[in-house]
């Protein structure tokens, strides 16, 4: 087999092309979508479905046999050879609520896992036309320019991003307690509205940290690799690594990790 890194770089180039093409579909639908509610406050549009269909078809053509895990229930998840070591994790539109209101950011998140480890991550912020890419071991790039996490060393100087609960409110008290602790300790907190882009913005040093519960693998797989390749750290709220499927995510520039982990302690037992 070829040097895996070269193979991953080739696959990244295909993923970048597909993300940009998918971005055109999203742009076409911006401002003219019909919104459906899959569940309470869980929106889907024909753009989400069309983008997912486009991406899964293209991946199947380019990489026959690779497995696919994608958000929308179009009978496309887990397709491919069960024994393949390769699996794509796709969010066709991350930030659908923003998208339906015409509020940036929102975008496409594509990750490739090889033997259970994410090796390629691509996040495309459509309204800002910003493409974030990483290959494991090769650093993180924003529109082709190398980037890295911030060097912020104290919470007092930190800007933190999060996702407010908006579907499941059973643990709102704990969330508000954690949020209050973070608000008191830092320069401020933001809620942009797309987890993959929160992570991309940590990876390139705009935010110093991110926390959210209840996230799915398609929200985080690509963005986690971006943060790690930018020199940051990603864990669950207990400090455990590889939280792709953990439904709890804490990402920081590394220097602030333990301090932010301590602040979100009220959410230790929350996974929704
Ligand atoms: C959502 C966004 C949002 C986060 C939610 C996700 P979707 O993804 O990433 O920022 O707070 O938890 O589900 O539904 O727009 O793909
Ligand atoms: Ca998502
Ligand atoms: Ca989505």
Tens of pLDDT, residue by residue over 151-206, are 999 999 999 999 999 999 999 999 999 999 999 999 999 999 999 999 999 999 99
Residue 229 confidence (pLDDT): 98
161 and 182 Cβ atoms separated by less than 8 Å: no
Ligand nearest to the CA of 106: 1
Ion ligand 2 — residues with CB under 5 Å?
91, 94, 219
Say which DSSP state 208 is in: S
pLDDT digits (tens, 9 = 90+) for 93-138: 999 999 999 999 999 999 999 999 999 999 999 999 999 999 999 9
User: Is the torsion defined by CA of 249, 12, 60, 106 positive or negative?
Assistant: positive
Compute how many other C-beta atoms are within 10 angstroms of the C-beta atom of residue 85: 12
Provide the token pair at 178: 């954690």
Query: Residue 16: CB within 6 Å of ligand 1?
Result: no
* Residue 91 CB–ligand 1 contact under 6 Å: yes
Domains belonging to the chain, first-starting first, are 4-147 (3.30.540.10), 155-267 (3.40.190.80)
What pLDDT is attached to residue 74?
Answer: 72
Task: Give the alpha-carbon dihedral of 199, 203, 208, 212, to 10 degrees.
Answer: 20
Q: What is the pTM of this model?
A: 0.96
Q: What share of the chain has pLDDT > 90, as a percent?
A: 91
Task: Please choose from 89, 167, 219, 271 the residue to mutate so as to test ligand 1's pocket, defined by most ligand atoms within 8 A of CB.
Answer: 219
Is the CB of residue 194 below 6 angstroms from any atom belonging to ligand 1? yes
pLDDT in tens, 192-239: 999 999 999 999 999 999 999 999 999 999 999 999 999 999 999 999
**Predicted pLDDT at 91:** 98
- Ligand 2 centre to CA of 90 (Å) is 9
Q: Which atom of ligand 1 is nearest to the CA of 48?
A: 16
- Rounded to 10 degrees, what is the CA torsion of 163, 99, 110, 63? 150
């Amino acid at each position: 087999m070829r040097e895996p890194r070269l193979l991953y770089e080739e696959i990244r180039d295909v993923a970048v092309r597909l993300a940009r093409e998918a971005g055109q579909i999203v742009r076409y639908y911006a401002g003219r979508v019909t919104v459906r509610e899959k569940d309470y406050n869980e929106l889907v549009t024909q753009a989400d479905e069309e983008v997912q269909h486009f991406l899964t078809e293209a991946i199947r053509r380019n990489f026959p046999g690779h497995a696919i895990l994608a958000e929308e229930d179009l009978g496309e998840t887990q397709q491919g050879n069960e024994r393949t070591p390769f699996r794509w994790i796709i969010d066709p539109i991350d930030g659908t609520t923003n998208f339906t209101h015409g509020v940036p950011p929102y975008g496409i998140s594509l990750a490739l896992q090889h033997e259970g480890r994410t090796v390629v991550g691509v996040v495309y912020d459509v309204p800002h036309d910003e493409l974030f890419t990483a290959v494991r071991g090769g650093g993180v790039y924003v529109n082709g320019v190398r980037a890295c996490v911030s060097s912020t060393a104290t919470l007092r100087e930190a800007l933190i991003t999060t996702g407010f609960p908006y579907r499941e409110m059973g643990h709102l008290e704990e969330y508000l307690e954690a949020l209050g602790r973070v608000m008191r300790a830092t320069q401020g907190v933001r809620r942009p509205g797309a987890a993959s882009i929160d992570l991309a913005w940590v990876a390139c040093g705009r935010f110093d940290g991110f926390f959210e519960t209840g996230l799915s693998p398609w929200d985080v797989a690509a963005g986690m690799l971006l943060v790690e390749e930018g020199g940051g750290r990603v864990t669950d709220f207990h400090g455990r690594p590889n939280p792709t499927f953990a439904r709890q995510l804490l990402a920081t520039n590394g220097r602030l990790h333990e301090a932010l982990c301590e602040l979100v302690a009220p959410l230790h037992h929350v996974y929704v």
